[in-house]
Structure 1
Amino acid sequence: MTGGARGYWGRMQSEGRDQVADEISEEARRRGLTVAVAESLTGGMVATALAAAYAASAWFRGSLVAYSSEVKHAVLDVPDGPVVSAEAAQAMASGVRRLLAADVAVAVTGSGGPSAQDGQEPGTVYVAVDDGSGIRVQRLDLDGEPSEICARSAECTLRLLLDGMRG
């Protein structure tokens, strides 16, 4: 993919993230919910979209980018073992929800490539939403270059957060 095409792809993905983040803002304000994020694979892309959304200071509690396995284990109480897993995503969501005292939290972890991680092929992504009454996890299987996988993972994470907020 050439630089121009990659730049276009990035802008399209960013516009999609921004639109979903605006919907999250509306839902959070309408329902009086606070939101927190734990990210690994996406390295802050989800938090960036939420922080730029309307009235974010009223509902966005913050985020933790736990890129290294050690941080996931030590800070978010991810159990020993693979960090590209449903269990890790669940622990990350519940850990950041607790740490930042949020009503709803979302977490994303995965293998972006170009090599496999924890035995998971590039494009294997786990997203968890913890709303205090339970944790839902979804596995995504995405194709593309690492930058494309990260961008698509961020948008999917925002969409799953919005779905989780709506019940």
Structure 2
Amino acid sequence: MNDLDQGAAAVARWAERTGMTVGVAESLTGGMVAAALAAAEGSSQWFRGAIVAYSSEVKHGLLAVPPGPVVSEPAARAMAASTRRLLGADLAVALTGAGGPSSQDGRSPGTVFLAVDGPAGAEAVELDLDGGPEQVCRSAAAAALDLLVARLPASS
């Protein structure tokens, strides 16, 4: 079992125990987190879905990301909050970043922002990941699931 599968399995166990639901907003990872969650045990009962907002226009228009750079903490926070609301999820995780090989929004490749929004509030983290675009995306997806698991509320 790889890191994505392990993280998704942990979310599935939590969701089964609590009856709570999860949503995802992804940018640079293009659906990697959503695919891992959808493949997890019992996902049809707790996975509300995902929004893959790859373009800046979609992030601003659909996910209410404020004007300005999309590779930022405010963007990740807005993505998580909007996804939670749009999908009717108890908890949402969001990812945005510069996968490379070029910089984006003045951020170097490997700069990633993650956010979780849930009943206990919101939290965001910034990561500086190494590797080429494929490795950055894989590491970012695994980190998003790790953050989600770390912030899972005890019950509904």
Q: Is the shorter-chain TM-score for this pair beyond 0.5, marking a shared fold?
A: yes
Q: TM-score interval w.r.t. the shorter chain? A: over 0.9
Partner of 1:85: 72
1:72 and 2:63 matched: no
In 2, Cα distance between the equivalents of 1:95 and 1:22? 25
Code of the residue aligned with 1:104 in structure 2: it is L
- Across the two proteins, how many residue pairs are aligned to each other? 154
Partner Cα distance (2:145, 2:29) in 1: 11
The 2-side partners of 1:162 and 1:32 are apart by 15
Task: Name which of 134, 148, 152 aligns with 1:147.
Answer: 134
Contact 2:23 2:47 in 1 (8 A): yes
Q: Distance in 2 between matches of 1:65 and 1:99?
A: 13
The structure that has the greater radius of gyration is 1
TM-score, length of structure 2 as denominator length:
0.96
Q: Which has the higher helix share?
A: 1
CA distance in 1, matches of 2:34, 2:128: 22
Aligned residues with identical type, % of pairs: 57
1:104 lines up with 2:91 in the alignment:
yes
Partner of 1:3 in structure 2? none
> Is 1:30 the counterpart of 2:17 in the alignment?
yes
How far apart in 1 are the matches of 2:120 and 2:147? 16
> Could you say what the CA RMSD is over the residues aligned between the two structures, in angstroms?
1.0
Alignment of 1:7-18 (within 5 A): 15-18=2-5
Letter in 1 for 2:20: L
Matches within 5 A, 1:122-137: 122-137=109-124
Return the alpha-carbon distance in structure 2 between the equivalents of residues 91 and 29 of structure 1.
27
Q: Equivalents in 2 of 1:155, 1:103: separation in Å?
A: 21
**TM-score, normalised to structure 1's length?**
0.90
Runs of 4+ in structure 1 off by over 2 angstroms are: none
Contact map agreement 2:21 2:48 (CA 8 A) in 1: yes
